[in-house]
Structure 1
């Protein structure tokens, strides 16, 4: 069932989305080589609780951590743990919050230190494709227009567009209808109407699109072992231009000020 939000509900959702943005900015301030990913989980959980919200992911369908940390060939749903970040890693951090009864949910990929030009290009292209997709999230377009735009932008560079995991509607539940694939046919799918809130999230592999799930039942990796990048925004469909509820500006500011992080692809 599709749930359209009132303007008042959209405003509440923006509060939750911006708290996710601020949480990711806090993480961006402290990421460095040698940091165990479980420490990122602790920092995020503490910040979310201090701001009057609770983490969306904790115990969601049994997920045992507060946030998701996906390193290198992990596409999504990576467990925080003892792994210590290294120079040359990329890490996608996915955060969800519940505040005022509504969820915020988005993700950002960080580069630790120096990486190859091909990794820089993958991060840049994936991030670009998110905004290419968001441009299609306007009233009167079709759901397939979003996926087509994301798919074309990445496949033009030879990247694998993950099809097994997709974006989704967002609201009082973290996963609402409709599903929002990162692939599709232009002009296909449901008609987009005002105040539909979507989590648009390209998951793009340097190599092939195929993935597999680890024995833990959660961690998703690329089948060919190549790196994967994940960016996500919370977006409200409007006439003429989509309203992005989350905000990368504070994340990017913190990222640029942290000498351990590589922003040379900007």
Structure 2
């Protein structure tokens, strides 16, 4: 998900430290979801699991009441589950996971007033080489984007690093949805597109906290909405993968606040 409010915020070292519990919580829930998802499990069960973890932690869902301009209605769930040709904003519904399904989880929560946002893709059951390669490419693109998130670089360097990995594997890049600022709210400025020109755009400064989130489709860069007003699918039915971390830019290099063990 991404929406663009109008102000870029920078955070102190102490504030970035205060964000760590939110990052650890989001990372832990995603890791549990990836371990738990199995053939025959319903997407609604996984959403219920994430909701229980939020309640147990005294956290706050960033999704339940979320209704940006691109959403058809308030989201109403705590987790995005996008399956196969769905790649973003998947609204959980009564669907049992099948063998070989490619499932993307996107999860954001607030802990003690701070937000973290992260996503990952997994194949449940027997995985095809095509799906594993797509996930690997998306993972390497995320790593490249994070490596470019250093003080003195430009915003375009992050997008260029992501797109270079994608195009190197023959994938097209959609820039309609991408990363975004994170902090006290889930979606803030700047928008962090998954493509860019090196050395161009906003200069990266210490204290900027952003979600970097490459997502790719196997054979297209065009997306269409489901009737639910949320779920975004490939226009040609090809599968998609989505990876995301919340990253703080510091003088000592990028800190991945949602790093998973």
TM-score when scaled to structure 2? 0.93
| Residue matched to 2:55 | 49
Alpha-carbon deviation of 1:160? Answer: 2.3
| Residue matched to 2:244 | 232
| Residue matched to 1:13 | 19
Contact 2:123–2:131 (8 Å) recurs in 1? no
| Residue matched to 1:262 | none
| Residue matched to 1:103 | 115
Structure 2 unaligned residues grouped into runs of 5+: 1-6, 68-73
Contact 1:75–1:203 (8 Å) recurs in 2? yes
Secondary structure (helix, strand or coil) at the match of 1:171 reads coil
CA RMSD of the aligned region, Å? 1.0
1:51-100 deviation per Cα after TM superposition (whole angstroms, max 9, x unaligned) = 12011111111111111000011111111111100111010001111111
Q: Aligned partners of 2:117 and 2:131: how far apart in 1?
A: 25
Of 139, 143, 163, 1:127 maps to 139
Contact 1:36–1:82 (8 Å) recurs in 2? yes
Moved more, 50-59 or 225-234: 50-59
Moved more, 133-142 or 233-242: 233-242
Taking a change above 3 Å as real, the CA distance of residues 240 and 12 of structure 1, as seen in their structure-2 partners, is: closer
| Residue matched to 1:37 | 43
Structure 1 unaligned residues grouped into runs of 5+: 250-266
Matched, 1:141 2:147: no
Of 69, 80, 83, 1:71 maps to 83
| Residue matched to 2:258 | 246
| Residue matched to 2:183 | 171
Contact 2:154–2:200 (8 Å) recurs in 1? yes
| Residue matched to 1:60 | 66
Q: Aligned partners of 2:184 and 2:51: how far apart in 1?
A: 20
1:7-56 deviation per Cα after TM superposition (whole angstroms, max 9, x unaligned) = 12111212111100111122123210000100000001101210120111
Secondary structure (helix, strand or coil) at the match of 2:253 reads coil
Moved more, 185-194 or 154-163: 154-163
Contact 1:137–1:238 (8 Å) recurs in 2? no
Secondary structure (helix, strand or coil) at the match of 1:237 reads strand
TM-score when scaled to structure 1? 0.91
Kindly report which structure 2 residues correspond to 1:80-229, keeping only aligned pairs within 5 A, or say none: 80-229=92-241
Q: Aligned partners of 1:247 and 1:154: how far apart in 2?
A: 22
- The ranges of structure 1 where at least 4 consecutive aligned residues each deviate by more than 3 angstroms after the TM superposition are none
Alpha-carbon deviation of 1:240? Answer: 4.8
